[in-house]
Every structure is written in structure tokens, then in C-alpha cells.
């Protein structure tokens, strides 16, 4: 089961938990935790958990708002109106998309919560959902938890991929209810152009299916690429919604603020579920998030530049190792095909365990994201340039048998202010590969 612990339950748990697929990152998470406890300085490029700080002005606003006792009460489950309005204004400014904050925007506790609860709002036993393989794991788990079934289609970003989906829509009975897209993609970093979404809207309209776009990396783009929003496509709001998050662009992963925008009936379905389960974020988080959305455009651009620079360091280093690696134009990941000579006949789960054991470097094995991820590893751009270079040296020593580079201390290359992966921090318990 998922959750980083594969031990069977000693109590009778629900079918929805029992039907979860095996959690393929469990062994690697366990080894990482054990190594840390043993005092190893593991360079963790496994999870897409930003290490850089949230914007100062946002933290400042949070502190101020926390001192106001009026903000200490329950908030509203769909998010403060002003937060939803600010999210709508950002869509207008960045993508030219008009949204009604009352009916077409709901704030979520991160996009993962929103996505999961939307599955619960839309699916029941026997419903099916089309998801590309490989996929961000929650795109499959949330469907399973809601009682639905996943139809995996080999991932692509082109007409051939859409043709595979159309084949499923035409031939499967009952017809799938939902199509899930995620560009820029996790884990593969695949991207699309606006024409792709025009074809998606046409397909969804023709077959009467709903669409969800997970746009978590929409603002983490490089080399002048501008990832298109699904909602900017004519007709998109008739057939679907899009999830955005403050986690990645604003380095606010721990704040848990995301949005679901678009089709008013889908937004209403999610809002209904949330209204029963939840009272919304702590209001100061929402107040500070409003400011981030209003004044954070430069911050977001600068942060994308940071990832671009790390990407260049990592891609160059991996190519030097002898790997064939495409340089991604968006996302926080490099999706790297492991050289055959380094795989040595192993699958990527065993390969990643070996890398962790022998090189103290954690990466996410592609197999954990689906069968089509086999042969690849996902490397997250979440350490600074020096640490990435250090990781590459350790990988080189482990894989190519070169002399191990001596590190001056247990914290080589880590900025002094970053307590990131010390044993004593909460980070250690929460840094689960797969995210
Ligand atoms: C594709 C994708 N969607 C959603 C999320 C979750 O983001 P949030 O922090 O908004 O829940 C992630 C996090 O890694 C992700 O990679």
C-alpha cells in the first residue's frame, strides 16, 4: 500500500485502502531514512520538494496577519473571496483567461488535496479514468481511492498520444469519464503547445468526457518557453478544470495552497465535498498568499531561472557520465535514461537503491511512476549547484569507478543557512520520494 510503509494492516481497513497499488518507492525511502540515521549525508534529488525559501514579503505578511485575532477563527472551505479573486486576476494577467471567482475558482489545500477530493466528487465504483504512463502517482492513487479504475495509456504529447486516447474512448464501454493531463509533466518534463489542448477540447467535446489539467509546473519554464494553460483554449471551461499551486513557483510547498479553476460544475462538485470535510486554510496563510499572487511575478521568474541554471549543471554532468539526456524546457526535473552499462541488467528500483547505497545520492526510479518509466530515473533540481556537482562526482565514482572525491565535511556544498536534510529536522521524516 501507499504511504511509505508496506506492512499489512492488523485491522480490517477499507477496500479503498486495500485496492491501492504497491508503493514502489517504499524500499528506497526506508533505505534513505536508515542512511540518514547512520549519519550519511545523502544528497536527495529524489523528491520535488523545493529547498529555497518562500518570498520574504509573504512570510512577513503571514506573521503580521497571524497577530490579528480576527484571523484565528475558522475560515471558509472554498477559500476567502479575495484569494479566489486574486487567483482569477492572475489567470487573466498571465494567460488571458476570464474566471468568475465565485463559481469558477476554489482554493485547495495544495493541488494534491484538491485533485484527490475532486476524484471523490466525480467518481464511483466502475468509473474509469485515462491517465498517461508514466504519471505523477497521485493521478492514479486518487482514482483508486475514489473507487474508480485507471486506464493507462503510454504517455505522449502529440497526435499519436491523442489517437491512443481516442481509441480507448471509442472502444471502451462504459466510456471513461475523465482524461487527466499534466504538462509540463512530472516525471518526464514533457511539454505541449497550445494546439495540443485544442485537440484535447475537441476530443472531450466529441466523446462527452471531462478533462483535468494539472498545471503544477506551469510557471517553471526555461529558455523563453511559456507553458500553455489548458483553460486558455476556447471551449476548455465547458469540459474541464485546471489545478495550479503555490508550492513550486513561490517555494511555498509547506503552506499547502492551490487552486482548481474552470468548469463551474466541476468546481461546485469539489467545493461541495470540501464544504463537508474542511473549514479552509488558516486565514493568515490565505492573506499572505493573496500578496504573493499580487506581487510575486518577479520572484516566480527568478526562481525559474534558478532551476534553469541547476538544469544546465545537471544535464552537462549526466552527459559526461555517458547518459543520453534531453534538456527539459520546464518542470523541476531531469528525466534521464540510465546508460545500459550502468544499469547492469537491473531495473531502476534496484539501480536507485544501489546509487543510494554506494554513492549517497537519492534519485526517483522511473519504474515507480509506471511501467513506461522503466529505464529512466527522475532527478529533481532541488539542491544548489555545488551539491548537484557533488552528487555527480559521487555518481561518477560509483558508476564509472573513478576515484571517490573526498568531501571536506558532512555538509559539503550546502549553504550555511540551509538545515535542509539534517537528521534533526522534520524534513527527514517528510521527504518521501514520489512527490
Ligand atoms: C504534477 C504535480 N501535481 C501536483 C503536485 C502537488 O502539489 P501541491 O503541493 O500543490 O499539492 C505535485 C508535487 O510534486 C506535482 O508534481
> Across residues 94-102, what is the average pLDDT?
98
Q: Which ligand 1 atom minimizes the distance to the CA of 253?
A: 9
Strands 376-380 and 364-365, how do they pair?
antiparallel
Tell me the best of 25, 48, 106, 112 to mutate to test the pocket of ligand 1, counting ligand atoms within 8 Å of each CB and taking the most. 112
Q: Which ligand 1 atom minimizes the distance to the CA of 112?
A: 11
Mean per-residue pLDDT over the chain, rounded: 91
pTM (2 d.p.): 0.92
C-alpha closest to that of 362 among 347, 377, 384: 377
Answer for the pair 239, 262: CB distance below 8 angstroms, yes or no: no
Q: Where are the alpha helices (DSSP H) in 131-181?
A: 138-145, 159-171
pLDDT band at 416 (very low <50, low <70, confident <90, very high): very low
Tell me the three-class secondary structure of 291-348, residue by residue: HHHHHCHHHHHHHHHHHHHHHHHHHHHHHHHCCEECCCCECCEEEEECCHHHHCCCCH
Q: Which ligand 1 atom minimizes the distance to the CA of 113?
A: 11
- Does 403 have pLDDT greater than 70? no
In the beta sheet, which residues pair with residue 262? 241
pLDDT band at 434 (very low <50, low <70, confident <90, very high): low
Spell out the residues 6+ positions from residue 108 whose beta carbon is closer than 8 angstroms to its own.
79, 114, 115, 117, 243, 257, 258, 259, 260, 270, 274
Q: Which ligand 1 atom minimizes the distance to the CA of 48?
A: 14
Tell me the best of 248, 259, 369, 370 to mutate to test the pocket of ligand 1, counting ligand atoms within 8 Å of each CB and taking the most. 248
Task: Name all domains of the chain by residue range, CATH numbers in brackets.
Answer: 15-52+298-430 (3.90.1150.10), 56-297 (3.40.640.10)
Spell out the residues 6+ positions from residue 13 whose beta carbon is closer than 8 angstroms to its own.
none
**Three-state SS at 214:** strand
Q: Ligand 1: distance of its center to the CA of 32 in Å?
A: 22
In the beta sheet, which residues pair with residue 153? 132
- Position of cell 559521487? 394
Phi-psi region of 270 (alpha: psi -120 to 50; beta: other; left: phi over 0): alpha
Q: Ligand 1: distance of its center to the CA of 410 in Å?
A: 30
For ligand 1, atom 2: residue with the closest CA: 216
**Three-state SS at 94:** helix
> Across residues 8-18, what is the average pLDDT?
91
CA–CA dist 258, 243 (Å, integer): 7
Give the containing element (helix H, strand E) for 283: helix 283-295
**pLDDT tens digit string along 156-195?**
999 999 999 999 999 999 999 999 999 999 999 999 999 9
**pLDDT tens digit string along 338-364?**
999 999 999 999 999 999 999 999 999
> Across residues 88-112, what is the average pLDDT?
98
> Across residues 82-111, what is the average pLDDT?
98
Give the containing element (helix H, strand E) for 129: strand 128-133
Residues whose beta carbon lies within 6 Å of some atom of ligand 1: 48, 110-112, 136, 182, 186, 214, 216, 245, 247, 253, 258, 435
Q: Which ligand 1 atom minimizes the distance to the CA of 108?
A: 10
**pLDDT tens digit string along 108-166?**
999 999 999 999 999 999 999 999 999 999 999 999 999 999 999 999 999 999 999 99
Q: Ligand 1: distance of its center to the CA of 399 in Å?
A: 31
Give the containing element (helix H, strand E) for 207: helix 194-207
Grid cell, residue 160, equals 499519436
Position 404 scores a pLDDT of: 53
CA–CA dist 232, 228 (Å, integer): 7
* Minimum mean pLDDT range among 292-306, 337-351, 412-426: 412-426
CA-based angle 229:235:91, to the nearest 5? 35
- Does 417 have pLDDT greater than 60? no
Q: Ligand 1: distance of its center to the CA of 247 in Å?
A: 7
Q: Which ligand 1 atom minimizes the distance to the CA of 109?
A: 11
- Position of cell 469539489? 270
Beta strands in 148-264 (DSSP E): 149-154, 178-181, 210-214, 240-245, 258-262
Amino acid at each position: 500500500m501507499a504511504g511509505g510503509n508496506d506492512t499489512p494492516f492488523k485491522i480490517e481497513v477499507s477496500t479503498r485502502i486495500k485496492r491501492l497499488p504497491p508503493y514502489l518507492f517504499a524500499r528506497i525511502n526506508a533505505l534513505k531514512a536508515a542512511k540518514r540515521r547512520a549519519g550519511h549525508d545523502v544528497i536527495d534529488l529524489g523528491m520535488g520538494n523545493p529547498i529555497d525559501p518562500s518570498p520574504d514579503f509573504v512570510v512577513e505578511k503571514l506573521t503580521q496577519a497571524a497577530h490579528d485575532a480576527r484571523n484565528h477563527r475558522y475560515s471558509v472551505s472554498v477559500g476567502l473571496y479575495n484569494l479566489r479573486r486574486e487567483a482569477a486576476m492572475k489567470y487573466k494577467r498571465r494567460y488571458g483567461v476570464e474566471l468568475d471567482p465565485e463559481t469558477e475558482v476554489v482554493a485547495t489545500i495544495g493541488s494534491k488535496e484538491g485533485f484527490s477530493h475532486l476524484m471523490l466528487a466525480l467518481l464511483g465504483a466502475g468509473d474509469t479514468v485515462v491517465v498517461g504512463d508514466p504519471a505523477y502517482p497521485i493521478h492514479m492513487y486518487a482514482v483508486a481511492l475514489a473507487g474508480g479504475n485507471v486506464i493507462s495509456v503510454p504517455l505522449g504529447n502529440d497526435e499519436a498520444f491523442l489517437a491512443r486516447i481516442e481509441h480507448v474512448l471509442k472502444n471502451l464501454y462504459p466510456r471513461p469519464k475523465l482524461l487527466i493531463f499534466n504538462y509540463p509533466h512530472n516525471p518526464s518534463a514533457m511539454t505541449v503547445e497550445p494546439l495540443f489542448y485544442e485537440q484535447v477540447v475537441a476530443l472531450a467535446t466529441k466523446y462527452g468526457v471531462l478533462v483535468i489539467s494539472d498545471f503544477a509546473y506551469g510557471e517553471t519554464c526555461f529558455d523563453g518557453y511559456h507553458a500553455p494553460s489548458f483553460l486558455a483554449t476556447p471551449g476548455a471551461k465547458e469540459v474541464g478544470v485546471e489545478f495550479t499551486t503555490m508550492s513550486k513557483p513561490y517555494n511555498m510547498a509547506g503552506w499547502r495552497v492551490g487552486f482548481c479553476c474552470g468548469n463551474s460544475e466541476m468546481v461546485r462538485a469539489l467545493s461541495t465535498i470540501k464544504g463537508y470535510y474542511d473549514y479552509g486554510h488558516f486565514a493568515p496563510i490565505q492573506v499572505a498568499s493573496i500578496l504573493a499572487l499580487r506581487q510575486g511575478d518577479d520572484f516566480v521568474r527568478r526562481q525559474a531561472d534558478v532551476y534553469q541554471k541547476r538544469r544546465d549543471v545537471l544535464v552537462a554532468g549526466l552527459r559526461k557520465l555517458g547518459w543520453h539526456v534531453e534538456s527539459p524546457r520546464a518542470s523541476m526535473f531531469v528525466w534521464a535514461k540510465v546508460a545500459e552499462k550502468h544499469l547492469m541488467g537491473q531495473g531502476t528500483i534496484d539501480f536507485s537503491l544501489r546509487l543510494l547505497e554506494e554513492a549517497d545520492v537519492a534519485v526517483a526510479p522511473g519504474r515507480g511512476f509506471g511501467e513506461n518509466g522503466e529505464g529512466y530515473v527522475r532527478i529533481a533540481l532541488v539542491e544548489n549547484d555545488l551539491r548537484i556537482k557533488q552528487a555527480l562526482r559521487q555518481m561518477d565514482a560509483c558508476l564509472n569507478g573513478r576515484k571517490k572525491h573526498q568531501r571536506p565535511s558532512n555538509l559539503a556544498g550546502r549553504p550555511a543557512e540551509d538545515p535542509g536534510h539534517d537528521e534533526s529536522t522534520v524534513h527527514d521524516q517528510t521527504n518521501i520520494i514520489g512527490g
